[in-house]
Amino acid sequence: MSESSNMLFVMMLGKADGLGDLTTTNAVTMTFAGAGMAVGLAAAMAVAQGTTAAAPYTDATTDGLADGEFITSSRTSHMLIDISDGPTPVSVSVSTTFVATHGVGDFLSGYSLSGLASPSVHGLL
């Protein structure tokens, strides 16, 4: 016995922190739901400039959660660059997360799949 739900769920989180003499941080999240699919994107960036006596610190973190019926995919990337040369060291952190889910209900119910079982599916046999 199988159960079917008509609900898709996407939640995105983003956080950026910077510590130094000059800092800038930004975090953005976006979600979209419609026509049997839900998509989410989160991006965060932190930049800090410090001194040789007090090195800068940055942290950018993103995460996402998706729940759906058939196919759910996600991708997260993190990048940290520390440049400690010179009198004003710089730290940069970037993070992005993408999640998607789709397939509410039986999305193949209107199609006949009987031809897929045949040995000559691609006309090669």
Write out pLDDT tens, residues 27-84. Answer: 999 999 888 888 999 999 999 999 878 889 999 999 998 887 677 889 999 999 999 8
Q: Which run of H or E residues covers position 16?
A: strand 9-19
Mean pLDDT over residues 5-14, rounded? 84
Q: Which of 2-11, 16-25, 52-61, 84-93 has the highest mean pLDDT?
A: 16-25
Q: Is residue 10 within 8 Å of 101, Cβ to Cβ?
A: yes
How many Å apart are CA 19 and CA 47, to the nearest integer?
Answer: 9
Lowest mean pLDDT segment, chosen from 69-73, 79-83, 90-94, 112-116: 112-116
Which of 9-13, 73-77, 85-89, 110-114 is the least confident region?
Answer: 110-114
Q: What is the mean pLDDT of the chain?
A: 83
The answer to which of 12-16, 76-80, 96-100, 104-108 has the lowest mean pLDDT is 104-108
Token pair for residue 38?
Answer: 């839900």
Query: What CA–CA distance (Å, rounded) separates 123 from 118?
Result: 10
Which amino acid, one-letter code, is at 54?
A
Residue 54, Cβ density class (10 Å: 0-12 exposed, 13-18 middle, ≥19 buried): exposed
Residue 111 has pLDDT above 70, yes or no: no
Question: Regarding predicted confidence, which is higher, 76 or 119?
Answer: 76
Round to whole Å and give the CA distance between 25 and 57.
Answer: 12
